[in-house]
Amino acid sequence: MNAEALAFYALAAMVLVGGALVVYSRNLVHAAVSLVPTLLGVAGLYVLLHAEFVTAIQILIYVGAITVLILFVILLTEGATGLRVRQRNEQVPLALGVCGALVVLLWVVLLRVPWGPAAGPLPPYNPGAVGRSFLMPYVLAFEVTSLVILASLVGAIVIARREE
Amino acid sequence: MIGLPHYLVLSSLLFGMGLYGVLTRRNAVAILMGIELMLNAANVNFVAFTKFVDPTFVRGHVAALVIITLAACEAAVGLALIINAYRHLETVNVDQVDLLKG
Amino acid sequence: MARLAWLIPLFPLAGYGILIFRGRALGDRAPYVAIGAMALSAVLGWGTFLEQVLGAPPFVWRAAWAVGGERVITVGYTVDPLSSITVAMITLVGGLIFVYSVGYMHGDPYYARFFAFLSLFCAGMLTMVLANSFLLMLIGWEVIGLCSYLLIGFYFRRRSANLAQMKAFLTTRVGDTLMLVGIMALFWQFGTLDYQTVFEAVREGAEKASAVVRLGPWEVPLVTLTALLIFGGPIGKSGQFPLHVWLPDAMEGPTPVSALIHAATMVAAGVYLVGRAYPLFFFTPHHEALAWVAWVGTVTALMAGLIALAQDDIKRILAYSTISQLGFMMAGLGVLGYTAGLFHLLTHAFFKALLFLAAGSVIHAVHTNNIKEMGGLWRAMPVTFWTFLAGFLALAGVFPFAGFWSKDEILLEAYHHNPGIYALLTAAAFLTALYMSRLVAYAFFGRYRGPEQPEPDPWLPEDYARAGVRGPHHGHGAHHGPHESPPVMTVPLVVLAFFALVAGFVGIPGTGPEGGSWIHHFLKFEGFEEAGIRAPSFSWPLALRSLAVAFAGVGVAWVVYGARWVRSDQVREWVGPLYPFLRNRMYIDTVYAWVFVRGGLALAAGLRWFDVQVVDGLVNLVGWVTVLVSRLHRLFDTYVVDGLVNLVGGLTRGLGILLRPLQTGRAYNYILVAAAGVAIIVVVSLWKL
Amino acid sequence: MNWADLRWLVPELVVAAAAVALLGADLVLPADRKRWLGGLALASLVAAGAACAVVLTDLGGLGAPGVRVFADTYTVDAFAVYFKLVALAAVALVVLVSLDYFPGRTPHLGEVFSLLLFSGVGLLLMASASDLILLLLSIEFVSLSSYLLAGFLKRDPKSNEAGVKYFLYGAATTGVMAYGFSLLYGLTGSTILYDIAARLDRAGPAAYLAVGMALAGFGFKVSMVPFHQWTPDVYEGAPTPITAFLSVGPKAAGFAALVRTLSIGIPLEQVNWPVLLAALSAVTMTVGNLLALLQRNLKRMLAYSSIAHAGYVLIALAAWKSAWALQGLLYYLLAYLFMNLGAFFVAMVAAEGTGSDEIPDHAGLSQRAPWVAGAMVVFMLSLTGIPPTAGFFGKFYLFAAAVDAGLLWLAALAVANSVISLYYYVGVLRALYLMPPAAPGPVPVPAGLRVGVLVALIGTLAAGLYPEPVVTFVEVARRLLGS
Amino acid sequence: MPILTLTLFLPLVGALVLLFLPKEDADRIRRVTLGFTLATFVASLLILPRFEFGRREIQLIEQAAWIPAVGIQYKVGVDGLSLVLALLTTLLTVLSVLYSFRETHRVKEYNLLFLLLETGMLGVFFALDFFLFYVFWELTLVPMYFLIGIWGGPRREYAAIKFFLYTLVGSLAMLLGILLLYFHLPPGQRTFDVLEIVRQRPLAGTGLLAQLAFWGFFLSFAIKVPMWPFHTWLPDAHVEAPTAGSVILAAILLKLGTYGFVRFSLPLFPEVFHQHALLIATLAVIGVIYGALVAMAQTDLKKLVAYSSVNHMGYVMLAVAAAAYAYGRQELADAAATALNGATMEMLAHGIITGALFLVVGVIYDDRAHTRGVDDFGGLWAVLPKYGAVSITAMFASLGLPGLMGFVAEFLIFVGSFSIIPVFTALAALGVVITAAFFLWTIQRIFLGPTNPRWVNLPDLDRREAWTLFPLVVLMIAFGVYPKPLLDIINLTSSQLVAMLR
């Protein structure tokens, strides 16, 4: 087992355990905090996949912004932890079945696909490649993303603002 | 050697977990967290595919970046809606928010 | 003249039009319109008749009436001996009855309406007679049926009249429908309804092997079947067994109506039609259609004679007598006595109209129809009595009255062609004399047994007010017993009595060429000659035999009702159950009432139930279930569509209700459905595709 | 990038600029002039419409092939322009009626119009996007602004609830769709539809998986069963103009994106999606109609009916091999725009007049607002598919496509569904015409709504009576889709 | 002058004019409506001088491009069949509107709907393009729904929606049939032109598809006729509809079904129709006898007349089935033409007679007795002599009394059909007796017998009512006595159809 594999399995464990806690934890704060290792694990995977720029953004936005936002809201709404009330709804068994089925389905199908060979090696410094991509074919996506952010923020502020 | 299937299995498990969270949580914020897991699963796929299938144009990276941004926007919008609803309905449990049904 | 014959039915029709629209304004003058129109028709009718007598060739005129593809359906009229003599008879008898009605119906609030209907009737009858195709014949045929319906129920406030008119129309309609099917069959075979073409085709077809229709176990030649179906019409209209039941009830109509329609003309239309369509009956294999006609006629003659014996209503007795006489005519036609049957038709018209009118005069005087409540009238009403007597003798077949000649012809033909029928007809002739004598004895002899109180007028005061007339004029109330009718009524009686005496003279041997009678010469069927059938010549022994039979009938009646050597109730005891059997008209009406009327109504009610409950619903089941389900869910909406629609509606609503719980309002439920949906979509498409 | 390519984006740019400008103007304008914002929005939409016409001319008219810009990620063709016009019309009409609706209900008028325009931009992008990333982005753009709009009446609990539900459901389906897109990317190594089509041949069963998951996102946008369940709740809870907008704008754009994705990106040889969609179409129309049958709330009924109509439109995809299919889809969505917006507008009038969305409470509206009620007759008949309305011609097209493609069973099912739908549509007319008025006196009709109803009415009737121009347009749009 | 288009759209113009009249001015609305219907009637009469009586084909064709992209055009024309039915339509609309002067409830909407309905009905008869035909076909449903639903009796909502749903099922089935025909034309020649499709018979020889299309059309027309067992919407609709609505419903709308059978089913699917002709004849005969018997059991006058419609339309269908059964048999051509003539004649006769009957019922129910129970009356003839005369005439016409129009129709149907399907026809002839029975019984219960004292003060027909009924009675008698002029027109189409079927 080489280092890559070792790193992969460690990160995978981190992601999955974190994810499980996010999903299972009765204490919502715990759940939110568990997001951090999960998202960081995913960031680690990005490193393994040579996606350094994505890793950076993942850590910045996800871990830095989203998780904090979520925690905020939990603290604002459910009396900090949400422990007072039942967190799980009545469709657990069904959900388990559906999710299990879906995962098995994904495995059954995806593991049989003869995934296409790479058209070449990754470019040496891929933040640059990402940048080129963003500026050349995906300039429109880039610009639209900024519009989306603008619209979301404006709307979120209007909605979230407490009115007199 | 860690290949594409490894990543796919991992992402599918993450996806399933996220979906499970979405499906079993009563709390809207918790559901949102499940959704974030699903989006991360998709992102893992995108980035993994970039390496193994489309290394030249790194479109997967672009997609992942876009999705991360969208996730942020969703979180902002969603949490705003949830907070506002909490102010008037005094709950964030989805099954207690049921003026509309039938 | 013949070219103008189309006007003959049009005059009364015009009269009808005028009377319907201007009748009330005309008031008491209304009859003049009708009589005037009738007179014009009579002039033309007699003109054409005389023309034919003088040897004018038959005249036919046609015009297109309808089209079907390349085919043209024509209507038109024929003037030939048969139609012209019948027209002459109708216009004469009709005109006299019109005149009589002026007196009889005077003061009725619907005076004009009465004459209007009579005029329409004459128009229809004349159309029917002059028609040259089954189509126009059928039109006239139904119009007279309609008028009969309207006139039977003329006193429309009377329940009994209403029932009688319906019975009449429906019973004859049964026959008419059979005839309609027969006409359809004719059209199918020959593509036309024109008499001439049809008859020629029938004659030609007679030689060829004709088509055969399988009716259950029997195979019937198509021609025969057609002829018999056509005969269905005459059976209904001419009151032949088994469709005779309506005719006695039809006496609910005013007496002139009984005389004109239910004695002289309309009921004879059936006989006329058989005569008119004689080739159709004759050119059947072995003349088998004619055999049927003969037997139906014979049975009718006998049956009606028997029933007439046990009736007390003067008009009813005459009605059964009419049925019986019509049976005679049919029998005559059936036993190859073409001329004999039609001859009897003509003579019968005169004396039966006479009898009815005279009976009307009696009723007018005594206000009852029951002969047991009359008596001794010969003194009070001499003219009526003597004319009635003339009619009676003619009917009974006493020499030299008209009935003697014509009835004898029939018996003669029967004797030659079918001895069995001859025997039965002789018995019927005996019965005729018997029941008529009974009638005369009860009504005119003995002492008056009538009530002092007349029966109530069917109209209410407001009817008179509405019609602008003063009300019943012939002084009811204080009444001094029976008295003679006014001249406007008695004069027609006298004229008719004259014809009842002389009309038969045209049948005296030697009046025609080659020693035959004139009527045989004038009215003859061409087919006989070709087939080598010769009419038997008059024979005195036979004539005397029938005369003896008539006298025997009169004699027996005299024994019981005149001299009363044997009391009638004793006779009643002797015959045991026969009397109630006959008195109740052999229970035929009763059976019909149960089977057809009640049966039909029950069937209708049953089907209505079926329609509402089953067809419209699949209901009691589904509708009930739907309602129940809907109630349970408190979702029943006021506008659920019933019927099959209800079923569908129920199912759809049910499905909707089943789906609805999925709409919980909880987002995570929805997402579960979506996720499961994705899984299912993928699995199914991978599995199936 | 080539700056000249921007000329194909003028409509999008105009609307986006206006949206941003509105935010600025909102800060400047005094409270009593805020209505001007609506005017500005309308003006920008009209300008964008004009720009669309210019784009069409630049393309070389109707008959010319489309252009692909930004390395094939964005396709501007007649098909796209058609949907852009439909989207602009939808937004414009909704802005028009919002002018009467929102003042007094929310102080944030500027944001309402701005968000409407933003989602308009999203719609324009959806119509043209030929790249998965752009597609995802534009769908999310529309979605995010829609979540906000649905929950915009902050003090109305129903609106709050609608916003939250819509958001949770939409975000979840976005997650599924994103995962599906990632698989498509992995299978082909590209996110551009044209490349995907060329390289999908190695995918095998995985293509079905990817398409199935992607359908979740599209299905959510067009209210296809089983991704429909948010529809009634959100439609009922959202402010009515927004409901009206949701029922036509995102739905039309969703169909545009779905059609483009499937027809360009997924070759029939790899994924037999018409059969799949035939089944979905059947289920969708049936479920929608059956549930609509039970509704007494007008908005909710229209929500289910909008599910049913999604089912009808899906016939076009099921009958894809027929030349009539896409034309039918294009025509139907235009018809649906007019008739459904019209129905919602009348619902707004009725709700204003009677203070309720329940159908029985609208009894006798024909006496109180005859013209509006008369228009409702046309809309309901059109939704049922009775001539001479646009809805009929649309159904005619779609049924024809089904018959042409040999899908008689689907056509028969659609017929049965039309009959069921008659029942509840006529139920509305029954209340309006057959019932005695619940209260005396005329119902006031605000000016904006009046114009809105009138435009919808004219559109419904005109497109039904003389569909030739539209027919010509859609025929060309079909021929040139993605060529 | 495009006379057909003018006739067709005059009522629509009238409807538009009405839109702009104030609804309070009921009198003016009524007069304007009457004016427009009269103008339409005159316009329809003006077709006659332009019509070439020697030509069997459809003539006076007026056409214009409508949606050329898919082969849809505006194309109208008339032949004998549609001409007479159009005349019937315009006449009866005038009379209905005249009768409806009594209506005081929501007058504007009422008259507007009538005008719309008239355009719809005329359109069905004139249209020569399937799409156009379908548009008009559906256009007749909507106004009728409202007429029943707003101005109807106590169960009006139920009856209206039942009518609407039932008939919509049929018309949508027909739409699928039309589409099947269209798509079996060779690509490039696809058109909805009726004449072209009839000429090509695109589904001939396609087996199952032709069957499906045939039954699609059948369902639509059979519901409209209505044939047994699709008839149950009819009694409800008739009973609940306002009088004028019943008149139009019975006189014209039912004819749309039989018209469809003759105009489309026969020439389009001769083989299939031939194959199922006996089945359809069976249904027709059941309708005849069943309708008559159920009518006999009714105590509601309107229901009685409604079921008598089932009975009479059964005759029409019998003739049509007979004509279909004669397909391919040269020697039966004339019989088939006769039957078809009879069928068309019956359509007209039933229109006129049943129209009159419903008016007659309306006269007594709407303004006088306010009851339709047959047993509530008695002796009315004494009180209302004019009314009685008209009613009795109409009833006798309905039961097929010679000299009145119903007879001509039934007679031609019988003699024509008997040559083709004798047993069925003979059975159907039984219906004549039952029809007679229930009408006579009705006459007896209403007009004859002792007068019910409740009604002794009822007024007789007033002038307006007389004017509504008078033309119908005149027509009944005129064409009953001499039907040839009418038959000459009708025969053009029948001969053409028969020639086509050889």
Is C138 within 8 Å of E487 when comparing Cβ atoms?
no
| pLDDT tens sequence across E418-431 | 989 988 998 998 88
Tell me how close the Cα of B102 comes to any Cα of chain A, in angstroms: 19
- 3-class DSSP state of E127: strand
Mutate to test the interface with D, among B35, B37, B66, B90 (most CBs of D within 10 A): B35
Domain assignment present for B98: no
| Unique residue bearing structure tokens 């009696």 | C362
Q: Token pair of A88, please?
A: 């799980």
Domain assignment present for B72: yes
Tell me how close the Cα of B39 comes to any Cα of chain A, in angstroms: 11
- Predicted model pTM: 0.89
| pLDDT tens sequence across D278-308 | 999 999 998 888 888 778 899 999 999 999 9
- Distance CA(C496)–CA(C65), nearest Å, equals 39
Question: Among partner residues E158, E333, E429, which is closest to C180 by beta-carbon distance?
Answer: E429
Q: What percent of chain D clears pLDDT 70, i.e. is strictly above it? A: 98
Domain assignment present for A38: yes
What residues in E contact C153, CB-CB < 8 Å? 444, 448
- Distance CA(A115)–CA(E127), nearest Å, equals 61
Domain assignment present for D24: no
Tell me which residue of C169, C186, C166, C286 sits closest to C231, measured CA to CA: C186
At residue C105, the pLDDT reads: 82
Is B12 within 8 Å of A106 when comparing Cβ atoms?
yes
For A106, A118, A119, C339, the CA distances from B5, given in Å and listed in that order, are: 11, 14, 18, 116
Tell me how close the Cα of C3 comes to any Cα of chain E, in angstroms: 20
Q: How many CB atoms lie within 10 A of CB C286?
A: 9
Is B23 within 8 Å of C667 when comparing Cβ atoms?
no
Confidence of residue D35 (pLDDT cuts 50, 70, 90): confident
Put residue E276 in one of left, alpha, beta given phi > 0 → left and psi -120 to 50 → alpha. Answer: alpha
Domain assignment present for D292: yes
- Distance CA(C170)–CA(C162), nearest Å, equals 12
The DSSP H or E segment spanning A16 is helix A3-24
Strands C59-68 and C71-79, by their bridges, are: antiparallel
Is C656 within 8 Å of D275 when comparing Cβ atoms?
no
Cβ neighbourhood burial of A127 (10 Å; 0-12, 13-18, 19+): middle
Angle at E250 between CA E246 and CA E254, to 5 degrees: 135
Domain that holds residue A45: 3-84+125-162
Strands, E assignment, chain A: none
Q: CA-nearest residue of chain E to C458?
A: E450
Domain assignment present for D166: no
- Distance CA(D116)–CA(D137), nearest Å, equals 17
Q: CA-nearest residue of chain B to D154?
A: B84
Tell me how close the Cα of D230 comes to any Cα of chain C, in angstroms: 7
Domain assignment present for A29: yes
Q: Compute the mean pLDDT over every residue in chain E, rounded to the nearest whole number.
A: 90
Domain assignment present for B94: no
Confidence of residue E394 (pLDDT cuts 50, 70, 90): very high
- Distance CA(A65)–CA(A57), nearest Å, equals 11
Q: How many CB atoms lie within 10 A of CB E487?
A: 28
Exposure string over E45-74, b if 16+ CB within 10 A, otherwise e: eebeeebeeeebebbbebbeebbebbbbbb
Q: What is the CATH number of the domain that holds A23?
A: 1.20.120.1200
In which residue ranges of chain C is pLDDT below 50? 475-478, 618-620, 622-645
Amino acid identity of residue E395, one-letter, is M
- Distance CA(D355)–CA(D370), nearest Å, equals 18
Residue D118 has pLDDT above 90, yes or no: yes
- Name C208's Cβ contacts closer than 8 Å, sequence gap at least 6: none
Tell me which residue of C370, E306, C670 sits closest to B31, measured CA to CA: C670
Confidence of residue D483 (pLDDT cuts 50, 70, 90): very low
- Distance CA(E420)–CA(E326), nearest Å, equals 6
Domain assignment present for D380: yes
Mutate to test the interface with C, among D164, D176, D181, D208 (most CBs of C within 10 A): D208
Q: CA-nearest residue of chain D to E72?
A: D468
At residue C626, the pLDDT reads: 38
Confidence of residue A59 (pLDDT cuts 50, 70, 90): very high
Q: Compute the mean pLDDT over every residue in chain A, rounded to the nearest whole number.
A: 85
Q: Chains with 3 or more CB pairs closer than 8 angstroms to B? A: A, C, D
- Give the mean pLDDT of E267-292: 91
At residue C470, the pLDDT reads: 64
How far from chain centre, in Å, is Cα C169? Answer: 8
Number of domains comprising chain B = 1
- Distance CA(D141)–CA(D125), nearest Å, equals 9
Tell me how close the Cα of C688 comes to any Cα of chain B, in angstroms: 24
At residue C245, the pLDDT reads: 85
At residue C520, the pLDDT reads: 81
Rounded to the nearest 5 percent, the helix, strand and coil shares of chain E are 75, 5, 20
| pLDDT tens sequence across E132-180 | 999 999 999 999 999 999 998 888 888 888 888 888 888 999 999 999 9
Domain assignment present for A102: no
What residues in D contact A139, CB-CB < 8 Å? 1, 70
Is D419 within 8 Å of E212 when comparing Cβ atoms?
no
| pLDDT tens sequence across A111-155 | 888 877 666 666 666 677 777 777 778 888 888 999 999 999 999
Amino acid identity of residue C79, one-letter, is V
- Yes or no: say if B41 and A33 are a contact pair by the CB < 8 Å rule: no
Q: How many CB atoms lie within 10 A of CB C658?
A: 10
- Distance CA(C105)–CA(C111), nearest Å, equals 7
- Name C79's Cβ contacts closer than 8 Å, sequence gap at least 6: C2, C5, C48, C51, C52, C58, C59, C60, C130
Domain that holds residue B73: 4-89
Angle at D474 between CA D471 and CA D480, to 5 degrees: 145
At residue C468, the pLDDT reads: 66
Tell me which residue of A99, C647, D183, C228 sits closest to B7, measured CA to CA: D183
- Give the mean pLDDT of D18-23: 93
- Which range, of A134-148, B49-63, C634-648, D397-411, averages the lowest pLDDT? C634-648
Domain that holds residue D403: 274-483
At residue C616, the pLDDT reads: 67
Number of domains comprising chain D = 1
- Distance CA(C357)–CA(C493), nearest Å, equals 7
- Distance CA(D185)–CA(A83), nearest Å, equals 42
Domain assignment present for A109: no
Domain assignment present for D357: yes
Q: What is the CATH number of the domain that holds B71?
A: 1.10.287.3510
Amino acid identity of residue D157, one-letter, is P
Q: In this complex, does chain E touch chain B, defined as having at least 3 beta-carbon pairs under 8 Å apart?
A: no
E110 touches chain D (CB under 8 A): no
Alpha helices, H only, C153-221: 159-190, 195-207
Q: Compute the mean pLDDT over every residue in chain B, rounded to the nearest whole number.
A: 88
At residue B67, the pLDDT reads: 94
- 3-class DSSP state of D344: helix
Domain assignment present for D180: no
Number of domains comprising chain A = 1
